[in-house]
Amino acid sequence: DQQVKQNSPSLSVQEGRISILNCDYTNSMFDYFLWYKKYPAEGPTFLISISSIKDKNEDGRFTVFLNKSAKHLSLHIVPSQPGDSAVYFCAASDAGKSTFGDGTTLTVKP
């Protein structure tokens, strides 16, 4: 029972272009959605979150969009930089407990 899914295992984009990472969920009880970034041999690092009552949250180059009717969220990174190359996890929270997707590996080519 995979409640949070990231259907694209990998994504490759050119430096300066937009990266769009997608995530789908099934549980309507989730009240917050989060994105984390993970480099090899390190723990995930929190990037940005969005409440279920909002449809957009922006922080610098990172914007998260939430479509509740479609149970879908996306992370936009613009412009993409080589240092953004990492594994990105989306997570959905219910009463403080986060359920994670299985990650998308983003490669940003110089």
Partner 1 sequence: DTAVSQTPKYLVTQMGNDKSIKCEQNLGHDTMYWYKQDSKKFLKIMFSYNNKELIINETVPNRFSPKSPDKAHLNLHINSLELGDSAVYFCASSQEAERIGYTFGSGTRLTVV
Site for partner 1, rule CB under 8 A: 31-32, 34, 36, 41-47, 49, 51, 87, 89, 91, 93, 96-100, 102-103
Q: In terms of CB distance, is 50 or 110 closer to partner 1?
A: 50
**Can you tell me the distance from the alpha carbon of 42 to that of 32, in angstroms, rounded to the nearest whole number?**
24
43 or 83: whose CB is closer to partner 1?
43
Q: Which residues contact 64 (CB under 8 A, 6 or more apart)?
A: 33, 35, 48, 49, 50, 56, 57, 58, 73, 74, 75, 76
Backbone angles phi, psi at 3, to 5 degrees: -80, -20
Q: Which is nearer to partner 1, 60 or 96 (CB)?
A: 96
Shortest spacing between CB 102 and partner 1, in angstroms: 5
